[in-house]
Amino acid sequence: MTERLEEHLVARGLLTQDRADDALRSQALVGGAMDTLLLEMGAIREQDLVTALGEVSGLQPIYLADYVPNPGMSSALPREEAERLNLAPLSDEDGMLHVAVPYPVPMRGLEVLVRKLGRSVAPWVSTDVRVRSWRAQIYGTPLPARDSALLGTLGPTLEERLATEMAEQAARNVVGEPVPLVNPRPEPATIPGFEPANTLLEALEAGVAAAEPELPAWTVDAPKARTTRRARATTTATPSTSDPVVDWSLAEARTALRTVAGDREGLKDVVLRYARRTFDFVAAFAVVRGTAMGWDARGEGADAAALAQVSFPLDVPSLFRTAALAHSSYAGPVPADPQTRQVLDALGRTPRSVFVFPVEVRGRLVAVLYGDRGSRPVSQRRLSDLILFCQDLGAAFAELIVLRKQRRFADEDTAPPEPSGALGLTGVPRRSLEGLDRAPPATAPADLGPVLERLVGTDAAARAAAISELTLAPDAAARALAAEFPGPSAWSRVPVLELPAPDELGPVPAGLARLGGAGARALSRFLDAPDADTRYIALLTAGSLPHPELVAGVLRGLFDADPDVASAARAAATALRRLPRFQAALPDLRQELVAKEPERRALAARALGMLHDRPSVEGLIGLTGSDDAVAAQAAAEALIEITRASFGTSTHGWMAWWAENRSHRRAQWLLAALRNPEPWLRAAAAEELSAALGDTLGYAPDAPESERAAALDRWEDALLDPRLRSIDG
C-alpha cells in the first residue's frame, strides 16, 4: 500500500499527528486534496510540502510558484483532457510533453493520455492548488474562489524572510550600504558546473536534474509491481437544475439523510433536494477558514460553475454573519447591508425573503445553506419541516468525519503500472520552452495602510493576498494589527470544544498568526486585557502561535473568572503544551488541585483533564472527595478525559481502578475503554486511538459486539506500534 501523504509528513517530523488528524477531519467536512487542506491550515511550508510530494510519488517535484505559465501551451493538450486528469502542461520539447500533476498521481489517466496523443509524457508533481491555477491561466478559465483565496496566502514564510534579512544584514556589515530585498525566497544552492536557472528549461537541465533523481518513466505494458491509491475525483457531476422536486415528508428526508452517511456529496445532494421542496433556489456553501465558498446550487437559474466563483468572509456584517453569531437560522426579509446584496447579486437573486441555516460540528461552522422563492411567499409548514431537518445536519456531518476516515483507510486502489521507459523518458530532459520564465520576486509593501484595508475588506482573495504581504514586514505588520485587534469577527463567545483556525476568528487574528514570533509578542498583551471578549479572541489566537512568550498569559487564562474565556485558555494550552516553558509550569498547575479556593481547584482540574496529564491522576482522585461538589465533579470529568474510565465522584472506585492500572500505558487504558458498556466512552477512546494510529482497524463504537470483538484483537496486536506512544503523553 502506498504511503499516505500525511503519514509521510508525520514520519519526517514536518507535521504533528494532531494537525494530520485535523486535516483528515477538515477533508471529510469541506473536501479537497490533502495538500490543499494542509496549506489552508498553515500546517506546513509549501516548499517542504512540494518536496514531500516528490518523495511519496517517486516523481521529481516542481515548485510552480517560481515560474510563470505559458498560455501558448494550450495548443499542446486539449483543455478537456487537462481538466479530466487535473494536470497542467508545462513545456513541449522533442516529442515529449512535460506536465504538472497533483498527488495522488493519475497514473492510469497518464497511460491513456500517452495512447491518445501518441507521444511521451513526463509528469512533474506539485501541489493541487498550483496545478489548478496553472491550468486556469493557460486555458483562460476561471479559478474557484477557494483556490484563489488559498493562493493569496502562499507567500514567503516568516522563516524565509528572516533568513533573507540575516543575509542582507551581513552584507550591510561588510559593504556599509543597504542591500535591497530582491527575493525573500532563498535561491537554490549553486551546483558546480551550472549557472542559476532563469527558465524552466534551465531548471530541468541543471538545478532539478542535478539535485534530484532522474525523472521516472513508464511503459504502457509494464508489469504491475507497485501500488498506489486511487485519485479521488475533484468534482462530481452536478444534477440538472430541472431535476424533479422531491415531495418527501420530514421522516422520509431524515431516512434519506441516514442512507448517505459517510458520503459528503450524497449528504449535500439530499440536503439540496429536500430544500428544493421549500424554495425555488437553494445553494450550499462550504466554510473554509472563516470564508464561505460556493459548493453547489439547485433550482431556477442555478449555475454550479458560477457558484464556484462566489466566496465571502463571514466576519463582514451580513445576514450570514448574523446567523453565524446567533448559531441559529434566519428567515425573513433581505437585509440592506452591502455584503448581503453583493452575495445575492453574485447568485443572480433578487428575492422577497431569504433563508439561511448555519451547519455546525462541535461548535464550529462547517457549511451554510441558503434558500429563497424569488418574489413568491414561503410555505411556513414546509419551512418548519426544513428547519427541523437542518437541525440533524450537525450530527450528520460529525458522523461523516468518522465514516469517511474508516473508508479512507480501507479503500485502497489496485496496482497501477510500474514506472519504466515509455510514458516518456529515457534520460534527463533536454529542452523546454523558453516562455516559462521565473516569477518576479515579492517585495515588502512600503505603506501598510492599503494592505490593512484589503485585509478587512469583503474580497476573500484580496484578504488572503494582504495577509501574505504582511508577512514581508512582520514587526511593522504586528504593530499595525495590534492597533486593530481583535477586529471584525463572526465568532461569538461560547465554550470552546476545539481550537478554531485563526482565520475563523477574523482577519486580524489570522494576520497575527502568520507573523510567528512578531505576532506572538504583539498578542501577548491582549491575554490580560480588561475586556473579556478581547481576552477570549486573544487566547484562541494564541493556540495558533506556539511561542514561549504566550505561555504565561495562557496559564493565567486557565483561571479566568469568565467560563468562556477559561475554556479558550484550555484550548490554547493543548496547542502550547509541548513547549519547554509550558512543561516546566505543569508541576505548579498540578499544585492548584489543593488550592484554598474551590474555583481554582475546579479550573485546574478541567485544564489538566483537557491536557490528558497522567501525573495529575492521583491528585484528581483525591479531589473527587472534596466537600465542594463543583470541584469534585470537575475532577471526575478530568479523570474521564485522561483515563476513559468512568466512576463518577466515587473516590473509592477511582482508587481501586488506579491500583490496578497505574502501571499500564495510557494507550492500554484507551484500549480497555473500547470494551466499555457506555457507547460514548467507546467512541471517545476510538477517536483518540484511530487519530494516533492513522487507522480505525475496522472498529466502530456502535457496531455489534461480535464485530467489535474482532476489531479489538487487531487493536491488541497494534498496541506496540510506535505511533501510539503519543497517547502515553
CA distance 41 to 290: 11
CA distance 587 to 584: 7
Q: Which residue has the higher pLDDT, 225 or 649?
A: 649
- Give pLDDT, residue 518: 93
- Give pLDDT, residue 507: 92
CA distance 268 to 31: 12
- Give pLDDT, residue 460: 78
**Percentage of the chain with pLDDT > 70?**
81
Name the pairing type of β-strands 120-125 and 353-361: unpaired
Instruction: Provide the 10 A C-beta neighbour count for residue 640.
Output: 18
Which string of DSSP letters, residue by residue, matches 603-650?
HHHHHHHHTT-GGGHHHHHHHTT-SSHHHHHHHHHHHHHHHS---TT-
**What value does the CA radius of gyration of the chain take, rounded to a whole number of Å?**
27
- Give pLDDT, residue 407: 54
- Give pLDDT, residue 441: 64
Domain 45-175+186-211 has CATH 3.30.300.160: yes
CA distance 199 to 220: 31
Which string of DSSP letters, residue by residue, matches 442-463?
P---S-HHHHHHHHTSS-HHHH
Question: Does residue 6 surpass a pLDDT of 70?
Answer: yes
CA distance 263 to 401: 10
- Give pLDDT, residue 132: 92
Q: Say which CATH architecture domain 488-728 belongs to.
A: Alpha Horseshoe (1.25)
Question: Does residue 237 surpass a pLDDT of 60?
Answer: no
Whole-prediction pTM:
0.72
Per the CB < 8 A criterion, the answer to whether 111 and 134 are in contact is no
| Strand partners of residue 285 | 294, 368
Question: Does residue 487 surpass a pLDDT of 50?
Answer: yes
Per the CB < 8 A criterion, the answer to whether 633 and 606 are in contact is no
Backbone torsions φ then ψ of 190, nearest 5 degrees: -70, 135
- Write the pLDDT tens digit of every residue in 38-76: 888 888 888 889 989 988 888 888 888 888 888 888 888
Alpha helices in 456-579 (DSSP H): 460-470, 474-484, 502-505, 507-513, 517-523, 532-542, 551-557, 563-576
CA distance 67 to 75: 19
- Write the pLDDT tens digit of every residue in 580-636: 999 999 999 999 999 999 999 999 999 999 999 999 999 999 999 999 999 999 999
- Write the pLDDT tens digit of every residue in 508-536: 999 999 898 999 999 999 999 999 999 99
Per the CB < 8 A criterion, the answer to whether 724 and 607 are in contact is no
Question: Does residue 78 surpass a pLDDT of 70?
Answer: yes
Contacts of 177 (CB under 8 A, 6+ apart): none
66: DSSP letter: G
Q: Which of 429, 439, 420 is nearest to 92 (CA)?
A: 429
- Write the pLDDT tens digit of every residue in 326-353: 888 999 999 989 999 999 999 999 999 9
Q: Say which CATH architecture domain 250-408 belongs to.
A: 2-Layer Sandwich (3.30)
- Give pLDDT, residue 444: 66
Q: What separation in angstroms does the CA of 180 have from each of 50, 198, 665?
A: 28, 20, 56
- Give pLDDT, residue 565: 96
- Write the pLDDT tens digit of every residue in 254-304: 999 988 887 888 899 999 999 999 999 999 999 988 889 999 999 988 988
Q: Which of 676, 677, 713, 719 is nearest to 698 (CA)?
A: 713
- Give pLDDT, residue 687: 86
So where are the chain's domains?
45-175+186-211, 250-408, 488-728
- Give pLDDT, residue 3: 59
CA distance 310 to 298: 15
Average pLDDT, the chain: 81
First to last CA, the chain: 29
- Write the pLDDT tens digit of every residue in 370-398: 999 999 999 999 999 999 999 999 888 88
Question: Does residue 490 surpass a pLDDT of 70?
Answer: yes
